[in-house]
Structure 1
Amino acid sequence: MKQSFRGPELRIARWAFGARSVASNHPRAALLAALLAALAAPTLTACRNPDAGAQPAQDTTAAPREKPVVRFGKVVTRSLPQTLDISGTLVADETSEVATQVAGSVVRVAIDVGSRVKKGEPLVVLDASNVALQSQSANAAVAQARAKLALKPGESPKGIDPDQVPEVRAAKQSMELAKAEAERVKQLYDQGAVPQSTWDAARTQAQNAAAQYDAAVNGIRATVASLTSAQAQAGLASKAVADSTVRAPFDGAVAEKRISVGEFAGPGRVVAVVVRDNPLRLRIDVPEADIASIEVGKPVNVSVAAFPGRTFPGVVKRIGASLKESSRTLPVEAEFDNSDGKLRPGLFAQGQLTLTGESRKAILVPEQAIGSSGSSARVFVKSGDRVTEKLVKTGRKIDGLVEVVGPLSEGEEVAIDKVDELADGIEVATAQ
């Protein structure tokens, strides 16, 4: 069989043939020609069979992918009350910057951030040594004045009769005796039985006794005034002692602690911020076009990012008196029960406010059917043996269903499991 050589094969063949020709004329070259022919043989073989050293090809045909088995649920419609989409920040029902009313060094701090407190519980305690001494001094002055007035325990100095005070009563008796004696001497003087000097002495003594009585009465009145002042001082001192313990103004939680043990606090120093976090308030700005549909007592439902999938119910409590000129919106406040303490002031809430008026038809799908596609919600609708992805906007959650707005119709079937594994147009098998 005739062989055809090309390229490298031709060059090698020519070189081997030339070597054999030389060997025929030169015996010494015979051995060299044989070696060259042996070396050329595998090269020629490789050139003639380029696939001789190749490995057998791998079978790259992939096994067919199994269809995901998916359960489906029905798209339904219901009549639902009209709602308004709302959003806002939850705030505390009350916030108090609790401050000191007296000066003193801090000897104890009974709270920290997040502490739950009851109304009247101690927050911060100041050194009360000085005000306690002032209170003792004022109480001693009160006791002294009451003793001088001969007041019984619990008896008030108001409307006291000075003549009932022993000191005044004695002065009055002396005055009456001196007056009686002066009248008797006057009669004797008029009869000429006693000299002028005796009458003058009796008259002077009666005048002195009357002056002493008046002084005693005025002294009692001054003592009553002193008692009133001492009682006021004692009250202030007692209040200062009580105010040295800063107490919670209402039930709530500590949002901030602003003082530590050893610091000196002057009057008006804020030591803590306490918030009443039950109930919580939500400020809602209602557009002008919807204000006629707002009523106190209407339900409000919101959700927060901290508790995905959970709805918190509330109710409209207050409606503003006038609209904001800048935004043409009416401020409305809703309240939310927070007995379980799950919500926190400052959380951003989104939800719906129920309006007055006729109900409207709404499309709902099972909660499990809602998936996510970036920032949008999506569902997968059954279409033969495939599923079609449709983007929707979600709304209220009712009895395991979610209100949606999108290209869906009642009676269609949507995937309710493996939603995150599905893609638009893929084949699926229906779970039996």
Structure 2
Amino acid sequence: MHEPVKLVVRDNRKLRRAGLIGIAVAVVVVGAGMTTRLFAKQELKNWTAEQAMPTVSVLRPSVDGAQRPLSLPASVEAWSQAPVYARTNGYLKAWYADIGTPVKAGQILAEIDTPDVDQQVAASTANLATAVAQLKLAETTAQRWGKLVAQDAVSKQDAEEKQSDLAVRRAMANAAQADVDRLRTLQSFRRIIAPFDGVVTSRSTDVGALIVSGTAAARPLFTVADTKKMRVYVHVPQNFSADIKPGVTATLVLPEYPDRTFHATLLNTSESVNDTSGSMLVQLEVDNSDGMLKPGAYAQVTFSLPNTGSSVLVPASALMFRPQGMTVAVVDSNGRVKLRVIKIARDFGAKVEIASGLSPNDNIVDSPPDALADGDQVHILDSGQTSHANS
């Protein structure tokens, strides 16, 4: 009578055990899925962080080298350059030298037809002849009256009047001669001549043009430049002026000759600093026997200045403009960024000299991203091969 009850109890125990096993399996499956998802999420987070980490190149500041380059803009001028003006009035009769023509000193550049001056010379010559004739008559009269005074035939007063008239006539003759000389000098200016050996760089007149001299609006008829040697003018900032001294060398590069370098020597300096620009004018000399340089050209001058070794050099591309001042990014051994405020001693163009804030052993970021912040983790490009600023 009691056997069926035992079977029911046994079946209930089997079912409960199976349920517990199923629940355990479900917990294990769910736990494994959550663990896998957490690992996947962490891997994605790590991958995202690694992809977001900026890759930078680092270099070390340098104090090596006996010289430092200083590049500045400069202008090239002819050794001598003279605008040639007209000194007399008239009309241009002919010109004999155009732009680019080599000329010698005293060579005729143009001729001016001067009808007005020619008429004035003729009139002045006639006046001189009259004055000379009157002078001769006054001399003869004074001699005669001098003899009559010796014979007491005339009074001394009359004789002295004749001597006074002779002095007046002599002065008038001298004035007439001076006027003739002046007009003949003006007449000689009808020939426009080159002041020195050189090249004609401008011509602003033509045949038949009215020539008026002595006016503020007058333009030079020609410009002659001596280009065998060239003067190069460059404005050097005040903080570099003490380094510009005899023995400093310089090289020139011009846009039209990118693959050629011209060597220049220091000629002199203004020995003063312009209060407006804060720079000192420096004059260099360049040989131009081959005629490659042109007056008025733009050039880039690079000085080789002595390196005192008191400061470090970094490329200008490593500088960051931040509210706290000029900054560079320094990377530590763990790849963490530390922003350092620096003080610039002198700017050499491609490189700058750092007065404070860096040491030669610091690893600085070259061309840092704008968003780079203090404490950022960075990936160093070509790690283990840190370049130098002067390499």
Alpha-carbon shift at residue 358 of structure 1 (Å): 6.5
Distance 2:234 2:174 in 1: 54
Q: Across the two proteins, how many residue pairs are aligned to each other?
A: 246
Partner of 1:115: 101
Aligned pairs for 1:375-386 within 5 A = none
Aligned to 2:176: 230
Separation of aligned partners in 2, 1:80 and 1:116: 44
Q: How much does 1:79 deviate? A: 6.4
Task: Please state if 1:169 is matched with 2:143.
Answer: yes
CA offset digits 1:136-184 (Å, max 9, x no partner): 443454455456656xxxxxxxxxxx9xx443221111122125xxxxx
How far does the alpha carbon of each residue in 1:112-154 deviate from its partner, in whole angstroms, 9 at most, with x for none? 121222333222211134423433443454455456656xxxx
Partner SS for 1:112: coil
When residues 211 and 341 of structure 1 are mapped into structure 2, their CA distance, relative to the original with a 3 A threshold, is: same
In structure 2, the partner of 1:49 is none
Q: Which amino acid aligns with 1:104?
A: G
Which of the numbers 216, 224, 243 marks the counterpart of 1:293? 243
Partner of 1:376: none
Residues 59-94 of structure 1 show CA distances to partners (whole Å, capped at 9, x for unaligned) of xxxxxxxxxxxxxxxxxxx96544422332212334
Judge conservation of contact 2:90–2:115 (CA < 8 Å) in 1.
no
Corresponding position: 1:246 with 2:189: no
Distance 1:139 1:90, change over 3 A: same
Equivalent position of 1:354 in the other structure: 304
Q: Which residue of 1 aligns with 2:364?
A: none
Asked whether the 8 Å contact 2:74–2:301 carries over to 1, the reply is no
Aligned AA (1:87): P
Residue 279 (structure 1) aligned with residue 279 (structure 2)? no
Structure 1's 234 and 259: CA in aligned 2 closer, same or farther, altered over 3 A?
same
**Deviation, structure 1 residue 289:** 2.1
Counterpart CA distance in 1 for 2:143 and 2:249 is: 76
Deviates more, 1:343-352 or 1:215-224: 343-352
Aligned pairs for 1:385-424 within 5 A: none
Q: Secondary structure at the match of 1:310?
A: strand
Confirm or deny: 8 A CA contact 2:232 2:283 kept in the other structure.
yes
Work out the CA distance in 2 between the residues paired with 1:259 and 1:235.
28
Distance 1:321 1:169, change over 3 A: same
Q: 1:394 to 1:321 in 2, by over 3 A?
A: closer
Whole-angstrom distance in 2 between the partners of 1:296 and 1:233: 54
| Cα distance in 2, alignment partners of residues 103 and 346 from structure 1 | 31
Q: SS of 2:258's equivalent? A: coil
Matched residue SS, 1:250: coil
- Please give the secondary structure, in 2, of the residue aligned with 1:97: strand
Q: Determine what percentage of the aligned residue pairs are the same residue.
A: 23
Letter in 1 for 2:224: V
Structure 1 pair 267–328 and aligned structure 2 pair: CA distance change class (3 A): closer
Question: SS at the partner of 1:174?
Answer: helix
Q: Is the 8 A contact 1:294 1:356 kept in 2?
A: no
The one of 248, 265, 287 equivalent to 2:211 is 265
Residue by residue over 1:185-216, the C-alpha shift from the partner in whole angstroms, topping out at 9 and shown as x without a partner, is xxxxxxxxxxxxxxxxxxxxx33xx3432232
From 201, 216, 220, the equivalent of 2:162 is: 216
* Deviation sequence 1:228-250 (CA, Å, 0-9, x none): 21121111111111111222233
Compared with structure 1, are the counterparts of its residues 394 and 220 closer, same or farther at alpha carbon in structure 2 (3 Å cutoff)? same
Offset from partner CA, 1:275-303 (integer Å, 9 cap, x none): 33343222212222221111146332212
Shift of 1:352: 1.9
Q: Assess if the C-alpha contact under 8 Å between 2:65 and 2:307 holds in 1.
A: no
Of the structure 1 ranges 246-255 and 340-349, higher mean CA displacement relative to structure 2 is found in 246-255
Match of 1:124 among 110, 132, 138: 110
Bigger Rg, structure 1 or 2: 1
**Partner AA of 2:305 in structure 1:** L
The 1:212/1:248 distance shift into structure 2, 3 A limit, reads: same
> In the alignment, residue 71 of structure 2 is paired with which amino acid?
D
Pick aligned residue for 2:84 from 98, 112, 123: 98
Matched, 1:330 2:271: no
Give the partner amino acid of 1:306.
E
Tell me the amino acid that sits aligned with residue 118 of structure 1. K
Specify the SS of the correspondent of 2:72. strand
Could you tell me which runs of 5 or more consecutive residues in structure 1 were left unpaired when the two chains were aligned.
Answer: 1-77, 151-161, 180-205, 361-392, 396-432
Number of the residue aligned with 2:257: 307
Offset from partner CA, 1:359-415 (integer Å, 9 cap, x none):
99xxxxxxxxxxxxxxxxxxxxxxxxxxxxxxxx999xxxxxxxxxxxxxxxxxxxx
TM-score after normalising by structure 2? 0.55
1:341 to 267, 291, 314: 291
Change (3 A) 1:312 1:227: same
Amino acid in structure 2 at the alignment position of 1:218 = S
Aligned to 1:194: none
AA aligned opposite 1:320: S
Say whether the 8 Å CA contact 1:288–1:329 is kept in structure 2.
yes
Q: 1:288 to 1:234 in 2, by over 3 A?
A: same
| SS of residue matched to 1:87 | strand
Which SS does the other structure have where 1:309 is aligned? Answer: strand
